[in-house]
Amino acid sequence: MDKSLATTIEEIKLQEQNAEIKLKENRDLESTIASLNKNIRETVIQIEKSEKEQRELTKIINKLRSQLELDKIRRDALLAQIEASRKELEELRRKSYLIMLFLDFYCGQDEGITTVWNIRSSLCNAVHMASDNYDVMALLMKPKSVVTLPKAKTLPVKEVGEFDRKLKEVTQRKQNAVKDRDRLLNEPETGHEFVRYSIYKNRFILSLYYSCSRSQRR
Assess contact for 109 and 121: CB atoms under 8 A: no
Asked whether residue 41 is assigned to any structural domain, the reply reads no
C-alpha to C-alpha distances, 49 to 38, 43, 56, 60, 160, nearest whole angstrom: 16, 10, 11, 16, 104
pLDDT at residue 199, rounded to an integer: 56
pLDDT at 147 over 50: no
> Is residue 81 domain-resident?
no
Give the pLDDT score at 160.
Answer: 59
Ramachandran area for residue 191 (φ above 0: left; ψ -120 to 50: alpha; else beta): left
pLDDT at position 125 is: 72
Quote the number of domains for the chain.
1
Which of 36-50, 106-120, 190-204 is least confident? 190-204
- Percent of residues in the chain assigned helix, strand, coil, to nearest 5: 90, 0, 10
Task: Judge whether 74 lies within some domain.
Answer: no
Average pLDDT value for residue range 134-149:
51
Contact between 211 and 113 (Cβ < 8 Å): no
Is there a domain that residue 173 lies in? Answer: yes
The long-range contacts involving 125-130, CB below 8 angstroms and separated by at least 24 positions, are: 128/163, 128/167
Q: What's the domain range around 182?
A: 92-138+153-217
Reported in sequence order, the residue ranges of the chain that DSSP labels E, i.e. its strands, are none
For residue 47, being part of any structural domain is answered with no
Task: State the DSSP H helix or E strand holding residue 59, giving kind and residue range, or none if neither.
Answer: helix 2-106
Residue 176 within any structural domain of the chain = yes
> Does residue 12 sit within a domain?
no
